[in-house]
């Protein structure tokens, strides 16, 4: 609604880089992501995008479908899969070339990344476990061949064994050259899988820097994250 959530937040994410977004619940992380994706229009400020073959473009308030065509892949909190479609249908409905024409991520490659999904191709989305749904959401986003992957609460509510598998996949996505923006409550895992990180508190950035350096400040992180 009219609530003012984000205040003076400024950050940049370079090509092939990984950025962690940390903060307690209600601090503005999801609002920031939804603003970048075009679901929320900011009262002021700009969202700028520089694709591989385009000049810097102001994309503030662009509709989500336009942002996806620019090359943003989004794995939302809650996963957002289609429960009435099969695993196969959930994946194929998203498959297309990226904005630069690349098709590095194919249907077959996603199934190789997630063998568990291969075993459940005919299952409906509502029949999957939470971990399988998260795999499906990540696979679906990869099939858009994005330049930037945004993962909101990447491992929320998942069993420890599945959590380890999701972080393995995140590491692989990062190694493939896709830029990543990662939100997760496990700040240690986020810092281990990113180059830089920012910490939000009440809609403002209160800590920012190289992830490795922030990991060396457990007391400061404990104060703002409540861990």
pLDDT per residue over 58-100, tens digit each? 999 999 999 999 999 999 988 889 999 999 999 999 999 998 8
pTM: 0.92
Residues with Cβ within 8 Å of 110's Cβ and at least 6 positions away in sequence, in order, are: 91, 117, 139, 142, 143
Check pLDDT > 90 for residue 51.
no
Q: Taking Cα atoms as reference points, which of 31, 191, 134 lies closest to residue 182?
A: 191
- How many beta carbons lie within 10 A of that of residue 25, not counting itself? 8
CA–CA separation, 83 vs 186, rounded Å? Answer: 28
Q: What is the mean pLDDT of the chain?
A: 92
**pLDDT tens per residue across span 189-226:** 999 999 999 999 999 999 999 999 999 999 999 899 98
Q: Look at phi and psi of residue 191 and say left if phi exceeds 0, alpha if psi is from -120 to 50, else beta.
A: alpha
pLDDT for 227: 61
Q: What percent of the chain has pLDDT over 70?
A: 98
Query: What sign does the CA torsion over 154, 7, 31, 18 have?
Result: negative
Q: Please state, in angstroms and rounded to a whole number, the distance separating the CA atoms of residues 46 and 48.
A: 6
**Alpha carbons 26 and 206: distance in angstroms, whole number:** 15
């Amino acid at each position: 609604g009219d609530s003012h959530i984000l205040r003076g937040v400024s950050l940049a994410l370079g090509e092939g880089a990984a950025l962690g977004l940390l903060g307690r619940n209600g601090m503005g992380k999801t609002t920031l992501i939804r603003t970048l994706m075009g679901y929320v229009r900011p009262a002021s400020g700009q969202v700028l995008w520089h694709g591989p073959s385009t000049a810097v473009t102001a994309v503030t308030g662009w509709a989500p479908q336009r942002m996806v065509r620019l090359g943003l892949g989004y794995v939302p909190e809650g996963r957002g899969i289609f429960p009435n479609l099969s695993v196969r249908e959930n994946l194929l409905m998203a498959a297309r070339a990226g904005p630069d024409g690349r098709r590095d991520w194919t249907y077959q490659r996603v199934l190789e990344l997630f063998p568990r999904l291969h075993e459940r191709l005919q299952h409906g989305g509502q029949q999957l476990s939470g971990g399988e749904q998260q795999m499906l959401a990540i696979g679906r986003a990869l099939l858009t061949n994005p330049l930037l992957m945004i993962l909101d609460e990447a491992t929320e509510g998942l069993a420890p064994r599945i959590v380890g598998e999701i972080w393995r996949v995140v590491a692989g996505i990062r190694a493939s050259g896709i830029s990543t923006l990662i939100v997760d409550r496990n700040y240690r895992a986020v810092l281990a899988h990113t180059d830089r990180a920012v910490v939000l508190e009440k809609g403002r950035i209160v800590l920012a820097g190289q992830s490795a350096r922030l990991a060396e400040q457990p007391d400061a992180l404990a104060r703002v994250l409540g861990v």
